[in-house]
Amino acid sequence: MDSSPPLLFFAVLAGMVLFGAAKPPHIIFIVADDLGWNDVGWHNDQMFTPNLDKMARAGVILNSSYVQPVCTPSRNCFMTGYYPFHTGLQHEVIHPSHPGYLPANFTTLPQKLKQLGYTTHIVGKWHLGFCDWKYTPTYRGFDSFMGYYNGAEDYFTHIRDNGYDFRFNTSVHHPPEGEYSANVISARAVEILDSVDPVRDQLYLYLPFQSVHAPLEVPERYENIYANISTKSRRQYCGMVSALDEAVGNITSALRDRGFMDNALIVFTTDNGGPTFTAANNLPLRGAKTTLWEGGTRGAAFVYSDNLLQNDGYTNNERWYGRGEPVAHRQFRGSFRTLGVPDPTEHHDIASDNPDVVSKLLGRLSFHKATMVPANFPPADPASDPKNFGGNWSPGWC
């Protein structure tokens, strides 16, 4: 594993070590797709995200959590703990007709958790390769998979370009006609909770939502929450965020009703910054998805668990960041604490004022470049055409 593991690995460590769980926690890892920094209620009170806000404010808000600037590289990190330049997935994203993949020699987090006795499930977006069955979720450590292989598909029809893309395990699957993606994902998550014993079993539930990636599609009732917004694309996007929040609320309610919350660790993050070129908002950060500015790589994120709560009169964020936090927590404050960015728009070049820091960073960059593997970004292969697989995006062509 690389020396800087991604958010989930540290969160698992925190849940299992810092808080002294009697047994390994249930891990629910929720990933929003293309969520902007300023598109959540704890950063922007104009956003209606009450379920996410409640957990973020009662949990630990990770204000300095960094992700990759686009989808596939971040998901690579979530699954392996390796930087994408060590797996060959550092270049853009895997397109439907391109035979790219997460190499099979890398052990994934669900594979490792299965060795520890976990039952493992994924509901939502994979985007780590599907040209061969061995690169698909149920061959990479998941007991079950319901979702899709690619990205940017229709939220209702599950069609991307000229092919259908939705599976249950290895079989083509058709959710109820006209059902919105966020609701399909939350319903399946609840179904999984009904199949797991919260006392006897340990659950790893990975929920990489389609929301809020383009295309901008959402039932009208969510869009109407933002009737005061004049721009339709922004109104739709905000509605998509609220639909995501409601789906998360349905899942967390089910977790609590079924007894999982007594020993659950919930991690929430985005895969990259918001695409302001569609309708996202990353203010006050500069840049957007696909850029290396803060707006492309600083992700809205938090960790929540009932087991973080202590009866000492402080919220979890006060306990971690302010006075009064337990000594056991202080040693990790540097990893969680807001670093304080005096120039969030990144307009002031301070390199000449800090030559020693620049030298150190360049040395670190050279160190990492020496370990970099070539990007695996092959050209499109016509063998991938869904026409060859009954109109479905399907493995079996590489």
| Domain assignment of residue 139, yes or no | yes
| Domain assignment of residue 394, yes or no | no
Cα–Cα distance for residue pair 43/194, rounded to 1 Å: 34
Tell the burial category of 8 from Cβ atoms under 10 Å away from its Cβ (0-12, 13-18, 19+): buried
The model's pLDDT over 217-229, given as tens digits with 9 standing for 90+, comes to 999 999 999 999 9
Return the pLDDT at 325.
32
Q: Which of 236, 199, 238, 245 is nearest to 215 (CA)?
A: 236
Cα–Cα distance for residue pair 193/282, rounded to 1 Å: 34
Task: Report how many domains make up the chain.
Answer: 1
The model's pLDDT over 279-322, given as tens digits with 9 standing for 90+, comes to 999 999 999 999 999 999 999 999 999 987 674 545 555 544 44
| Domain assignment of residue 2, yes or no | no
Cα–Cα distance for residue pair 137/128, rounded to 1 Å: 9
Task: Give the 3-state secondary structure of residue 53.
Answer: helix
The model's pLDDT over 260-269, given as tens digits with 9 standing for 90+, comes to 999 999 999 9
**CATH value at residue 218:** 3.40.720.10
Task: Give the 3-state secondary structure of residue 206.
Answer: strand
Return the pLDDT at 357.
94
Paired sense of beta strands 302-304 and 264-270, if any: antiparallel
| Domain assignment of residue 344, yes or no | no
251 vs 18 pLDDT, higher one: 251
Question: In percent, how much of the chain has pLDDT > 90?
Answer: 83
Marked catalytic residue, from 95, 127, 158, 213: 127
Neighbours of 267 (CB within 10 A): 27
First to last CA, the chain: 28
Question: In percent, how much of the chain has pLDDT > 70?
Answer: 86
Span 201-209, average pLDDT: 97
Task: Give the 3-state secondary structure of residue 357.
Answer: helix
Q: Six-digit token pair at 319?
A: 């306990």
Q: Burial letters for 19-32: b for 16+ Cβ neighbours within 10 Å, e otherwise?
A: bebeebbbbbbbbb
Answer yes or no: are the C-beta atoms of 148 and 167 closer than 8 Å: yes
pLDDT(6) > 80: no
Domain range for residue 122? 7-336+351-389
Span 342-358, average pLDDT: 90
| Domain assignment of residue 80, yes or no | yes
Maximum Cα interatomic distance, the chain, rounded to a whole number of Å: 63
Cα–Cα distance for residue pair 1/107, rounded to 1 Å: 10
Cα–Cα distance for residue pair 58/316, rounded to 1 Å: 6
| Domain assignment of residue 341, yes or no | no
| Domain assignment of residue 244, yes or no | yes
pLDDT(213) > 50: yes
Marked catalytic residue, from 43, 71, 158, 329: 71
Kindly state the helix (H) or strand (E) to which residue 147 belongs, with its residue range. strand 144-148
Cα–Cα distance for residue pair 16/13, rounded to 1 Å: 5
Q: pLDDT confidence of 15, banded at 50, 70, 90?
A: low
Verify whether residue 71 is a known catalytic residue.
Answer: yes
DSSP symbol at 346: -
Q: Burial letters for 72-104: b for 16+ Cβ neighbours within 10 Å, e otherwise?
A: bbbbbbbbbbbbbbbbbbbbbbbbbbbbbbbbe
Return the pLDDT at 1.
44
Q: Six-digit token pair at 392?
A: 């479905």
Cα–Cα distance for residue pair 15/264, rounded to 1 Å: 9
Q: Where are the alpha helices (DSSP H) in 16-69?
A: 50-58
The model's pLDDT over 320-338, given as tens digits with 9 standing for 90+, comes to 444 333 323 322 322 233 3
Span 149-171, average pLDDT: 97
Q: Give the chain's mean pLDDT.
A: 89
Neighbours of 123 (CB within 10 A): 23
Q: Burial letters for 283-310: b for 16+ Cβ neighbours within 10 Å, e otherwise?
A: bebbbbbebebbbbbbbbbbbbbbbbee
